[in-house]
A = this chain, B = another copy of it.
Amino acid sequence: MDRSEFYTFSGYMKKDDSRLTASMEDYLEMIYRLSQENGFTRASSLSQSLNVQPSSATKMVQHLAQLGYVQYRKYGFIMLDDKGAEIGAWLLKRHTILENFMRSIGVSENSLLEETEKAEHMFSPETIRCFSDLLDFLQADAAFAAYNAARAKNKKPAPQQPAEPANNRPQK
């Protein structure tokens, strides 16, 4: 049995070295959101919006600038470069598709944002396309509407999954 295509999570995440990291994507996506009003944003808004310390935002913005995604000079505005803007737009679109899809299949508003934010980084454009197409299909499918209505009724459809196994990690 050939299992050699399995990797650990970090194995996968490191594998394509020519890719933005998940965090870089988050920063770019947020810079894009925040720039929609004014065409730029600043370190403070960014750090607030992402719930990181200002120093972390500074560091990442400098990094993104170095790679040519944003224009940035110390203490100045953060402005997306062409490359950055194109990617930012795509990232936001990707987020939106996934979020809509997840909502429409019944993921509760509680977990929706967090899980979308975590999962969006994991899918290729082709897979996002699958979600998007499926969503379109479902919205036009009468049977699905019925399924959905039924599911909404049974608030708690019986705990079938092992209800979140009680882990404990280094309880520092």
Contact = CB atoms under 8 A, between A and B. Distances in A.
A8 B46 CA distance: 11
Contact of A118 (B13, B125, B164): B13
Nearest to A140: B143
A159 B68 CA distance: 26
Given A23-B8, A50-B8, A115-B123, A18 B167 contact: yes
A119 B124 contact: no
- A: interface residue count bin: 35 or more
A163 B13 CA distance: 20
Mostly helix, strand, loop or mixed at chain A's interface?
A: helix
B117 A7 contact: yes
A168 B67 contact: yes
A33 to B, nearest CB: 8
Interface in A92-138: 102, 105-108, 111, 113-115, 117-119, 121-131, 133-134, 137
Contacts of A9: 21-23, 25-26, 117-118, 121
Given A86-B165, A115-B124, A118-B122, 4 more contacts: A4-B51, A12-B114, A111-B126, A133-B157
16 contacts: A6-B50, A6-B51, A7-B50, A7-B114, A8-B23, A9-B25, A12-B117, A17-B171, A19-B167, A20-B169, A67-B170, A90-B161, A125-B164, A128-B161, A137-B144, A137-B147
